[in-house]
Amino acid sequence: MERIPVAGPSITQREIDYVTDAATNCWYGAANKYHDRFESTFARYIGVTYSVALPSCTSAIHLSLAALGIGPGDEVIVPDVTWIASAAPIEYVGAQPVFADIDPQTWCLSPAAFARSITEKTRAVILVDLYGNLPQFDELLKIAKANNIAVIEDAAEAFGSEFHGRKAGSLGDVGVFSFHGSKTMTTGEGGMLVTNRKDLYDRVQVLRDHGRTPGDVSFFNQEVAFKYKMSSFQAAMGLAQVERAEELIARKREIFGWYHERLANMRGVTLNPEPAGTRNSYWMSTVVLDPSMGLAKETVIGRLAAEQIDSRPFFHPLSHIPAWRQTPAAARAREENVNAYAISPFGVNLPCGLSITEAQVDRVCSAFRAIVENHSSSAKRAA
């Protein structure tokens, strides 16, 4: 049987032509041709004023924190269930991550947990749009504003998702995106920082280029900073991809629709939510099993792999992984974050690359149903 990959891009002749042109012509005075077009087109699509192309989403979060002036002695709240890149840059700037619980419906940061986690040291919150899902922005932004907390929206996994007509990434002081090869739109590796705040944009422009002011040709650096730039080849591919944004998102939604048709009626199985007033771009088509079934994600992933089907585990709580497990913040989180620890062990991301076919989704769903049914039958016999 042909192996079904868990993710993958959609690349057309447009991407190939743009990247070929960049490799042929974008040097010296023309080096930023595709950067300028990519950034302006992306900003228009997201509905923001400023957009900065970067080598990764991680660098975008790092620059956001640095531009906000966050550093030693400060705390930044982050949902406990997310990829490490959402939180690692907090330590890059010397601040302390605070792991807060997730909401059981959205799988994103819980407003109640956010409010409980605020201290006099809290300077920012990173709101993660997990797997394309959107958090309860109305409540979260209200809490942040009342406490003078800066909001970084990590929309790495939610390109094209919308909250009451506003695009994911446009809802905070800063929004950040990932263009990793697994994402809905890709540049292979890469990222973007967006904002409507000119002060942050101006600061990021200096920090991303070794502390040089934009336009400096004298190599007269003002401070020690970072080197975070995207290549012209990546920018060319990014332009082609964002020009196809609605096509790519429609395809992701179609794939999720196939899964929903086949799995939504399964008892004890929950798929990605799409609350009223939102649009989910479904970067990942995710299933979460009821804990009472006792069927761990590792078991499901292993049995799917035996059927030549790749899948991914729902992210582990950050307070559980070795990188932070021994810290006091992680110890507190393990005691408090009941939703994170109830959901994460039973979640699996199913194959949803942009090239997957409906017949392949049928195969995945048949295998998944068989795994769940065989487990339930075995559990009944054991009882």
Cα distance between residue 321 and residue 97, in whole Å: 14
Assign 86 a pLDDT band (cuts: 50, 70, 90): very high
Q: Are residues 54 and 121 located together in one domain of the fold? A: yes
Last residue of a domain, one of 213, 243, 273: 243
Tell if the pTM clears 0.85, that is, is over it: yes
Same domain membership, residue 83 and residue 42: yes
> What would the pLDDT profile of 143-177 be if each residue is shown by its tens digit?
999 999 999 999 999 999 999 999 999 999 999 99
Q: 218 exposed, middle or buried (CB, 10 Å; 0-12, 13-18, 19+)?
A: exposed
**How much of the chain, in percent, has pLDDT values that exceed 90?**
96
Q: What is the pLDDT of residues 282-308, one digit of tens each?
A: 999 999 999 999 999 999 999 999 999
| 348 and 227 within one domain | no
Q: Is residue 293 part of a domain?
A: yes
Residue 377's pLDDT band (boundaries 50, 70, 90)? confident
Average of per-residue pLDDT across 313-321: 98
CATH number of domain containing 315: 3.90.1150.10
Q: Name the more confident of 383 and 58.
A: 58
**Per-residue pLDDT at 383:** 60
For residue 320, pLDDT over 70 is answered with yes
Q: pLDDT tens digit string along 197-216?
A: 999 999 999 999 999 999 89
Please tell me whether residues 288 and 220 are part of one structural domain.
Answer: no
pLDDT of residue 217: 87
Q: Are residues 360 and 260 in the same domain?
A: yes
Q: Is 47 left (phi over 0), alpha (psi -120 to 50) or beta?
A: left
> How many Cβ atoms sit within 10 Å of the Cβ of residue 1?
7
- CA separation, residue 296 to residues 24, 111, 241, 264, 289 (Å): 50, 27, 36, 19, 8
Determine contact, residues 272/175, Cβ cutoff 8 Å.
no
Instruction: Check which CATH number belongs to the domain holding 59 and give it.
Output: 3.40.640.10
Of the residues 192, 215, 243, the one at which a domain ends: 243
> Quick check: 38 pLDDT over 90?
yes
What is the rounded average pLDDT of the residues 105-117?
98
To 10 degrees, what angle do helices 13-25 and 33-46 make? 140
In this structure, the answer to whether residues 190 and 283 fall within a common structural domain is no
The whole-chain average pLDDT of the chain stands at 97
Whole-number pLDDT of residue 1: 84
What residues make up the domain containing 158?
13-100+108-243
For residue range 219-245, list pLDDT tens digits in order: 999 999 999 999 999 999 999 999 999
In this structure, the strands spanning 285-289 and 269-271 are antiparallel
Rg (C-alpha) for the chain, rounded Å, is: 21
Is 352 within 8 Å of 287 (Cβ atoms)? no
Distance CA 15, CA 6 (A): 22
pLDDT of 276 reads 96
Q: CA-CA distances (angstroms) from residue 368 to 261, 288, 291?
A: 14, 12, 16
Total tally of structural domains belonging to the chain: 2
pLDDT, tens digit, 9 for 90 and up, residues 325-370:
999 999 999 999 999 999 999 999 999 999 999 999 999 999 999 9
